[in-house]
Structure 1
Amino acid sequence: LIDNMREIMLEMGFVEIKGPIVQTSFWNFDALFQPQDHPAREMQDTFYLESQGDIPDYSRIKQMHECGGGIGSTGWGGCWSPEVARQEVLRTHTTGVTIKYLAEHPRPPVKAFGIDRVYRREAIDSTHTPEFEQLEGIVMDEDVSFSHLLGILKEFYEKMGFPEVRFRPGYFPYTEPSVEPEVYIEGLGWVELGGAGVFRKEVTSPFGIDHPVLAWGLGVSRVAMLRLGLKDLRLLYQSDIEWLRRTPVSIKL
Structure 2
Amino acid sequence: RYEITDAGKQVLSQSKEIISKTAGYGAAVTLVKEISQLTPDIIKSGAWREARFRPYNVRVPGETIYPGKIHPYRRLMDRMRRIMLEMGFTEIKGEIIQSSFWNFDALFQPQDHPAREMQDTFYLSTKAEIPDYRAVKEIHERGGGIGSTGWGGVWDPEIARQEVLRTHTTAITIKYLADNPQPPVKAFCIDRVYRREAIDATHTPEFEQLEGVVMDRGVTFSNLLGILKEFYSKMGFEEVRFRPGYFPYTEPSVEPEVWIDGLGWVELGGAGVFRREVTAPFGIEHPVLAWGLGVSRLAMLRLGLKDLRLLYQPDIGWLRDTPVSVFRGV
Q: Which interval holds the TM-score relative to the shorter structure?
A: over 0.9
Quote the residue 1:41 is aligned against.
116
How many corresponding residue pairs? 253
| Larger relative contact order (Cα-Cα within 8 Å, sequence gap ≥ 6) | 1
Cα 1:251/1:105, change in 2 over 3 Å? farther
| Mapped pair 1:160 → 2:160 | no
Q: For residue 22 of structure 1, what is the aligned residue in structure 2?
A: 97
- In the alignment, which of 129, 132, 141 is matched to residue 54 of structure 1? 129
- The answer to whether residue 282 in structure 2 is matched with residue 207 in structure 1 is yes
Structure 1 residue 249 displacement after superposition:
4.1
Q: Distance in 1 between matches of 2:299 and 2:322?
A: 12
Identity, % of aligned positions: 81
1:129 aligns with 2:204: yes
What CA RMSD, in Å, does the superposition of the two structures yield over aligned residues? 0.7
**SS of 2:192 mapped into structure 1:** strand
Matched, 1:68 2:143: yes
Aligned to 1:232: 307
2: CA distance between counterparts of 1:21 and 1:179? 27
CA distance in 1, matches of 2:325, 2:275: 39
**How big is the shift at 1:138?**
0.4
Distance, in Å, in 2 between the alignment partners of 1:203 and 1:215 is: 12
Indicate whether 1:103 and 2:164 are aligned. no
Counterpart Cα distance in 1 of 2:269 and 2:311: 19
**Unaligned runs of at least 5 residues, structure 1:** none
Q: Distance in 1 between matches of 2:189 and 2:294?
A: 12
Q: Structure 1-normalised TM-score?
A: 0.99
Q: In the aligned structure 1, how far is the partner of 2:218 from the partner of 2:109? A: 26
How far has the Cα of 1:241 moved from its partner?
1.4
Among 219, 222, 226, the residue aligned to 1:147: 222
Alignment TM-score, normalising by the size of structure 2: 0.76
Q: Match for 1:119: what amino acid?
A: Y
How far 1:163 moved relative to its partner?
Answer: 1.2
Question: CA–CA distance in 2 between the matches of 1:216 and 1:140?
Answer: 12
Distance 1:228 1:217 in 2: 20
- Partner letter of residue 111 of structure 2? Q
Counterpart of 1:181 in 2: which secondary structure? strand
Q: Which moved more, 1:235-244 or 1:85-94?
A: 235-244
AA aligned opposite 1:171: Y
1:119 aligns with 2:184: no
Helix, strand or coil at the partner of 2:289: strand
Counterpart residue number, 2:23: none
Letter of the 2:216 counterpart: D
Cα distance per residue 1:199-247 (max 9 Å; x no partner): 0000000000000000001000001100111001011111111111112
Equivalence for 2:272:
197
What are structure 2's unaligned runs of at least 5 residues? 1-75
Answer yes or no: is 1:170 the counterpart of 2:245: yes
Task: Give me the whole-angstrom Cα distance separating, in 2, the residues matched to 1:80 and 1:225.
Answer: 41
